[in-house]
Amino acid sequence: MKKKDFIAQDLLSKIYQHADPLPEKLPPERRLAEEYGVSRFTLRQALEKLASIGAIHMVQGSGNFINQGVRSNPLVYNSITEKKFNQISFRLLSLRRRLPNREEQQVFAISDSEFIWEFSRLRYVDGRKVQIETSKMPAADFPDINQKIIESSIQQYVLSKGYAISHYLTRYQAVNVTKAQAELLGCKKGTAAMHILNRGILQGGRVYESSDIIDINYACTYVIPFNRDNLTFRQSP
């Protein structure tokens, strides 16, 4: 793990370990750099990571303030959400409008005569190809999808249509990339990857997007509240 990532993880852990009330600010940057044995530049990179995920906000000349609601977020960050939009770009691979199969009817709660969009795109982070994403969206809700929209932020597009995004349901599984996937991503066949299945859900419960993603550079950090009922269930015969 890079030093900046370790520092970000460690500071985040300390924020969650701290008894209420949380301190208002982190210690001064010079002191933190000395404690971790790193340069101010490396420390600043770690702090910028924490700021990008909403754990702190940085005020030049005043210090680094802890956001008091940070511990209410169960998923803290992953390797995509910590990046700014100017570090991410997309290239459209395919786009088509078609009728849904039975499973897709269930996902989007639509009939067999209502169309869906299906599109694939490559996601670049810092100029490197890291993801193949295949997504589906109901055409009735999003009739004007085009290449320009797909090669930008789908979340921003959905919000611009007046919808309110509620949450995401995501499943992860470790896989190895196929020959076809390796050719698109510019890596070797069999490279370790994360297979991510994701559903974006609107307020009110409707699914607005279903995505199937292969990512060769994925990492995430969770905060998981202790669940005593789950422990009891797992201990039962």
Exposure class string for 78-112: b at 16+ Cβ within 10 A, else e: bbbebeeeeebebeeeeeeeeebeeebbebbebee
pLDDT of residue 50: 87
Alpha helices for 53-113 (secondary structure H)? 102-108
Lowest-pLDDT choice from 13-17, 180-184, 199-203: 13-17
CATH assignment, 85-222: 3.40.1410.10
Distances (CA, A) of 113 to 18, 119, 174: 54, 19, 35
Radius of gyration, CA atoms only, the chain: 21
- Which fold, 3-72? Arc Repressor Mutant, subunit A (1.10.10)
What's the pLDDT tens digit per position in 57-81? 899 889 999 888 777 666 556 777 7
Q: Any idea where the domains of the chain sit in the sequence?
A: 3-72, 85-222
pLDDT of residue 74: 62
pLDDT level of residue 227 (50, 70, 90 thresholds) = low
Mean pLDDT for the stretch of residues 24-43: 93
